[in-house]
């Protein structure tokens, strides 16, 4: 049994920034971060584009950023959440800089602001094309300097502990010694990131299996808007399954064109904003073009751009393309939409509180109302920073109450049970990913969704039985979590009858 005052599940920007602030405020309190991989492995790390923040009020304004967000969200944003997040952005950026994060500047010494799809102004603060990596580096450095923060990597959270609609902590498997650990905490924060590997073809790292949302679902927390899944229009096309390399939105902001294999600039047919239309529009347009042509990908043309400037702005993208034989100066980049972000999730209020007492959620696993039906590019890191601060402010005034000791669920000690067959899990996971891509992808229909829902329920029952008769296995647990999330996506997709933002049903 491990007692802690604040338990944080996940080690991305949302969880880490909260940990730093609460540890500074209460140096005598214990803050514990548990994460299923290494501490620096999160969706934050892979965020290329940057953070959308109004830093130049001469050319930009809060109102413009608010309007861009509302337009992108297609009528389903919570306007109060949008105003709050946009207006508090500059203060959160100052904190990141104070913690040591570095962002690109121009010859005048001001921020080198990028422009991405859906934005009316240049407002994306970035560190080359590795913004998330730079932020993760800086804030982890701060975390490790705090004596009252404990970071436990390779601890897979199995389930939340609740009593009378109140969260008391969590059970986690210490993967290093294969032992279940009970964490008892006054307050618990879910900062578990996204769901990308439910689809297989995704820009997310392999850890993105929807664990936090599945755990919240099992304790009946309110979850909504799961149908709004954002597909990034331009993932590097490689004829393999698994995590896809992201070709940042900022490349199109830099002036790249989308073309068919015959060289036709098809975005002119779909939206007056052309390549800088919002992600939902570009992804759906590419999907339609591919269905018309039968091709496997479209192409991003950068050959007309200043290659020296391109290489300076996007060194990681340039090197990745070069490593697979693509010379950006003369070759087009093959791209295809890939699952990128979930706009729905665990419902929280303006303080990050879920419907379960003492349980908070932040980052991609939460539903704040900011994104509505479709997330505006580079608003995700901004949202995580602002809501992490809101949770901190709320809990800075909340009293800590001692809780009665809780006991480990004894039937989870399963060392005497047989091991699950990994080939079975891998086969089932591949089938799940194919089902989600085909039946709950960019464009959906009710027949496919109903079939998916029935299949997911069948798999859920099958794996529930398997988990009770076999040893605890992380791959099996992740698969169960993904199936739960898939069921929620299918269910919410069936319920929605109007096409909004990232959701299209025919």
- Give me the pLDDT at residue 411, please: 46
Q: Report pTM.
A: 0.91
User: In terms of residue numbers, what domain contains 115?
Assistant: 2-42+50-227+343-396
Mean pLDDT of 466-479: 90
Q: Which CATH number is 450's domain given?
A: 1.20.58.100
Instruction: List the single range of 201-205, 237-241, 422-426 with lowest mean pLDDT.
Output: 237-241
Is residue 363 within 8 Å of 42, Cβ to Cβ?
Answer: no
How distant is the alpha carbon of residue 99 from its chain centre? 23
Give domain status of residue 408, yes or no: no
Give domain status of residue 22, yes or no: yes
Question: What DSSP element (H or E) covers 216?
Answer: helix 211-218
Is residue 333 within 8 Å of 247, Cβ to Cβ?
Answer: yes
- Give me the pLDDT at residue 116, please: 87
Same domain, 301 and 419: no
Q: What percent of the chain has pLDDT over 70?
A: 95
- Give me the pLDDT at residue 156, please: 96
Q: Which CATH number is 301's domain given?
A: 3.90.700.10
Is residue 226 within 8 Å of 500, Cβ to Cβ?
Answer: no
What are phi and psi for residue 298, nearest 5 degrees? -115, -170
Tell me the DSSP string of 346-410.
Answer: EE--TT-B-SSBTEEE-GGGEE-SSSTTSPPTT-HHHHHHHHHHHHHHHHHSSPP---------G
Q: pLDDT tens digits for 410-431? A: 445 545 688 889 999 999 999 9
Same domain, 30 and 165: yes
Binned at pLDDT 50, 70 and 90, residue 363 comes out as: very high
Among the listed residues 92, 123, 252, 279, the single catalytic one is 279
For 40, the 3-state DSSP assignment is coil
Is 279 labeled as catalytic in the residue annotation? yes
Same domain, 262 and 169: no
Gap between the Cα atoms of 139 and 41, Å rounded: 13
Same domain, 386 and 289: no
Whether the pLDDT of residue 492 is over 70: the answer is yes
Mean pLDDT of 175-199: 94
Whether the pLDDT of residue 39 is over 80: the answer is no
Q: Label residue 308 exposed, middle or buried (CB < 10 Å: 0-12, 13-18, 19+).
A: exposed
Give domain status of residue 221, yes or no: yes
For 115, the 3-state DSSP assignment is coil
Is residue 61 within 8 Å of 261, Cβ to Cβ?
Answer: no
- Give me the pLDDT at residue 430, please: 94
CA distances from 393 to 370, 414, 447 (A): 19, 41, 46
- Give me the pLDDT at residue 197, please: 94
Whether the pLDDT of residue 407 is over 70: the answer is no
- Give me the pLDDT at residue 325, please: 95
Same domain, 14 and 129: yes
Helices (H), 225-329: 249-253, 279-293, 307-313, 315-323
Give domain status of residue 32, yes or no: yes
Mean pLDDT of 67-74: 96
- Give me the pLDDT at residue 291, please: 86
Give domain status of residue 23, yes or no: yes
Final residue before a domain boundary, out of 293, 311, 338: 338
Same domain, 66 and 151: yes
Give domain status of residue 404, yes or no: no
- Give me the pLDDT at residue 471, please: 85
Final residue before a domain boundary, out of 296, 313, 338: 338
Give domain status of residue 504, yes or no: no
Whether the pLDDT of residue 106 is over 70: the answer is yes
Token pair of 92 as six digits: 């959160």
Mean pLDDT of 106-116: 92
Is residue 13 within 8 Å of 188, Cβ to Cβ?
Answer: no
Question: How many independent structural domains does the chain possess?
Answer: 3
Same domain, 149 and 239: no
Gap between the Cα atoms of 330 and 398, Å rounded: 59
Mean pLDDT of 10-14: 93
Mean pLDDT of 230-242: 84
Same domain, 309 and 431: no
Is residue 151 within 8 Å of 35, Cβ to Cβ?
Answer: yes
What are phi and psi for residue 228, nearest 5 degrees? -90, 90
Mean pLDDT of 399-410: 62
Give domain status of residue 162, yes or no: yes
- Give me the pLDDT at residue 409, please: 53
Mean pLDDT of 106-133: 91
- Give me the pLDDT at residue 406, please: 64
Whether the pLDDT of residue 175 is over 80: the answer is yes
| Angle 370-373-376 from CA coordinates, rounded to 5° | 60
Same domain, 88 and 193: yes
Gap between the Cα atoms of 502 and 311, Å rounded: 31
Q: Which CATH number is 32's domain given?
A: 3.50.50.60
Mean pLDDT of 193-200: 94
Instruction: List the single range of 36-45, 92-101, 352-361 with lowest mean pLDDT.
Output: 36-45
Same domain, 391 and 427: no
Same domain, 307 and 169: no
Same domain, 141 and 248: no
Q: pLDDT tens digits for 287-302? A: 999 989 999 999 999 9
């Amino acid at each position: 049994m491990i007692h802690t005052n604040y338990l944080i599940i996940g080690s991305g920007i949302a969880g880490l920034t909260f940990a730093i602030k609460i540890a500074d405020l209460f140096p005598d309190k214990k803050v514990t971060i548990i994460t299923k991989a290494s501490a620096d492995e999160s969706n934050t790390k892979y965020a290329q584009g940057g953070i959308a923040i109004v830093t130049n009020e001469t050319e930009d304004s809060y109102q413009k950023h608010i309007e861009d967000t509302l337009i992108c969200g297609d009528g389903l944003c919570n306007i109060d959440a949008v105003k709050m997040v946009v207006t508090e952005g500059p203060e959160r950026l100052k904190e990141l800089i104070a913690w040591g994060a570095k962002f690109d500047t121009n010859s005048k010494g001001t921020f080198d602001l990028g422009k991405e799809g859906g934005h009316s102004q240049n407002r994306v603060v970035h560190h080359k094309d590795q913004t998330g990596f730079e932020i993760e580096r800086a804030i982890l450095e701060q975390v490790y300097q705090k004596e009252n923060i404990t970071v436990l990597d390779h601890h897979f959270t199995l389930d939340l502990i609740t009593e009378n609609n109140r969260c008391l902590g969590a059970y986690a498997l210490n993967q290093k010694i294969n032992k279940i650990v009970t964490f008892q905490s006054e307050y618990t924060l879910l900062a578990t990131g996204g769901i990308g590997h439910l689809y297989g073809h995704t820009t997310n790292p392999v850890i993105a299996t929807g664990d936090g949302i599945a755990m919240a679902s099992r304790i009946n927390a309110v979850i909504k808007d799961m149908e709004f899944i954002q597909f990034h229009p331009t993932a590097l096309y490689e004829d393999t399954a698994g995590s896809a390399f992201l070709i940042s939105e900022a490349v199109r902001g830099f002036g790249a064109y989308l073309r068919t294999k015959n060289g036709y600039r098809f975005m002119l047919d779909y939206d007056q904003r052309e390549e800088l239309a919002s992600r939902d529009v570009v992804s759906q347009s590419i999907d339609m073009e591919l269905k018309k042509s039968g091709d496997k990908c479209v192409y991003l043309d950068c050959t007309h751009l200043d290659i020296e400037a391109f290489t300076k702005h996007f060194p990681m993208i340039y090197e990745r393309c070069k490593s697979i034989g693509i010379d950006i100066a003369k070759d087009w980049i093959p791209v295809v939409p890939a699952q990128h972000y979930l706009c729905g999730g665990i419902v929280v209020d303006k303080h990050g509180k879920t419907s379960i007492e003492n349980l908070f959620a932040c980052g991609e696993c939460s539903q704040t109302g900011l994104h509505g039906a479709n997330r505006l590019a580079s608003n995700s890191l901004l949202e995580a920073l602002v809501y992490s601060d809101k949770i901190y402010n709320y809990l800075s005034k909340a009293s800590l109450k001692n809780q009665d000791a809780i006991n480990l669920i004894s039937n989870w000690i399963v060392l005497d049970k047989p091991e699950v067959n990994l080939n079975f899990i891998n086969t089932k996971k591949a089938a799940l990913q194919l089902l989600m891509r085909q039946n709950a992808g960019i464009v959906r229909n009710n027949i496919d969704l109903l079939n998916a829902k029935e299949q997911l329920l069948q798999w859920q029952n099958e794996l529930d039985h398997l988990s009770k008769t076999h040893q605890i296995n992380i791959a099996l647990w992740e698969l169960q979590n993904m199936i739960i999330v898939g069921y929620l996506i299918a269910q919410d997709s069936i319920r929605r009858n109007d096409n909004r933002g990232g959701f299209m049903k025919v």
